[in-house]
Structure 1
Amino acid sequence: MASTPKNALSLVLLSTFVLGSMVSLSFSCPTRCEREIVWTLYAHQIGKGEDRNQEESVAPVNSTDNTRFGSIVTNNWPVFNALPLATANIVARARGTHTKAGPAAGDWFTSLSIVFEGARFNGSTFQVMGITEENGQWAIVGGTGELAIARGTIKHTVLKNPGIIGNIRQLDIHAFYTPPAVNANLISIQ
């Protein structure tokens, strides 16, 4: 049975209405929306001494090679909300590894979780990876908890602080995330 032009037009209009309603529902945002965060934090990296917060867990196989290629270092760096560190609060810990993946000085590949502590994002994480040169950028490739489905970047810069043991790495975070759904009373409805 052939469709008449009138029936075809009705079908097209009905399909457009139904699809238009579906599209507008999927883009609506009554309880769950992506949010943006721009935040500067400071990681304290100590490689030697009693207070070290990173440890070489795999030494290079070729001990005569000064490049340290193949070395794996495990880290648990405290992340502070401000400088100077003596008056700042720890808001997270950067836990993971960095691997010497090439012969040049900056050839450290880093994979870590930034695990947040305290009131704002307690227990939430950013999943981070990238090359750790003195100054560079890491990718935020995921997140959990309040920071679910995170994506973005962290520009990291080593600050020159002669009075501090180890490195202070400024972390300039720019990320998007989708917090858990909440109802009208701001109670999570996961």
Structure 2
Amino acid sequence: MDTPLPETYPTQCCLPCEKELNLMLYLHQVVGPNANQKTTIPTKPGESLFGITAVNNWAIVDAPDFKAKVVGHAQGIHVMADQPSVGYYNSFNLAFVEGSFKGATLQVMGIFNPVGEWAIIGGTGELTMARGTIKYKILQESAGIESIRELNIRAFYTPPSALVVKGA
């Protein structure tokens, strides 16, 4: 038998309070000397790039400059999963190493193109239960060896302090 709904509802939210995150950071990718990515599954010369796989530890910096301060790392993999064009499937943890989010992570995934958007599908530490998007675009390139991408990060998250049950 179904329980009837109460005639009045509590005025307080039963869910933890969320905060909004709006950050502008920059991804510094290095392919050549001092690379911060490495191909782990190559393709043969003359073959398409389909299937090529690389691991990455891209620097996340606080300014659009090749020598800017590192505030985090995008640690993960990218795989060429698009046969007709160049589109890498990308999955990484954005791990913060400086600032107010030091020790926190965002779990990110999506297609890696010159311009696009990734999904934020989780987070840890201060960014627990994050969800949102990162819009990105290339700002600078240096002879195809280095690039700087602008990351416009927008997410909602539940800080650990909001998860504490009061009165328990």
Structure 2 unmatched runs, 5+: none
The residue that corresponds to 2:37 in the other structure is: 54
Cα 1:134–1:111 change in 2 (3 A) is same
Q: Determine the C-alpha separation between the residues in 1 that align with 2:22 and 2:124.
A: 17
**Relative to structure 2, which stretch is displaced further, 157-166 or 170-179?**
157-166
Alignment of 1:67-78 (within 5 A): 67-78=48-59
1:79-122 CA-to-partner distances (Å, cap 9, x unmatched) read 00113343x32111000000000224432100000000123111
Q: Which has the larger radius of gyration?
A: 1
Partner in structure 1 of residue 76 of structure 2: 96
Secondary structure of the 1:33 match is: coil
Name the TM-score, length of structure 1 as normaliser: 0.76
Higher relative contact order (CA closer than 8 Å, sequence separation 6+)? 2
SS of the residue 1:121 aligns to:
coil
The corresponding residue for 2:24 is 40
Structure 1 alignment gaps of length 5 or more: 1-11, 183-187
Q: Which residue matches 2:62?
A: 81
Percent identity, aligned pairs only, is 37
**Structure with higher strand content:** 2
What number of residue pairs does the alignment pair up? Answer: 162
Check the 8 A contact 2:107/2:122 in 1, yes or no.
yes
Using the TM superposition, give the Cα deviation of residue 15 of structure 1 relative to its aligned residue in structure 2, in angstroms.
3.2
Name the TM-score, length of structure 2 as normaliser: 0.86
- Counterpart Cα distance in 2 of 1:94 and 1:105: 24
Secondary structure of 2:98's counterpart equals coil
Q: Is the 8 A contact 2:64 2:139 kept in 1?
A: no
Q: 1:108 corresponds to which residue? A: 88
Structure with the larger helix share: 1
Partner of 1:15: 6
The answer (yes or no) to whether the contact 2:22–2:152 under 8 Å persists in 1 is yes
Q: Secondary structure at the match of 1:75?
A: strand
* SS, match of residue 50 in structure 2: coil
RMSD, aligned CA: 2.4
Q: What do residues 18-59 of structure 1 show as CA deviations (whole Å, max 9, x unaligned)? A: xx13xx34x167xx421111111011101112x100000111
- Counterpart of 1:125 (choices 76, 93, 105) is 105
**Structure 1 residue 165: deviation in Å?**
4.5
Runs of 4+ in 1 over 2 A off after TM superposition: 83-86, 103-106, 160-165
One-letter code aligned to 2:46:
T
Give the structure 2 partner of residue 155 of structure 1: 135
1:171 corresponds to: 151
Q: Specify the SS of the correspondent of 2:132.
A: strand
Contact 1:106 1:134 in 2 (8 A): no
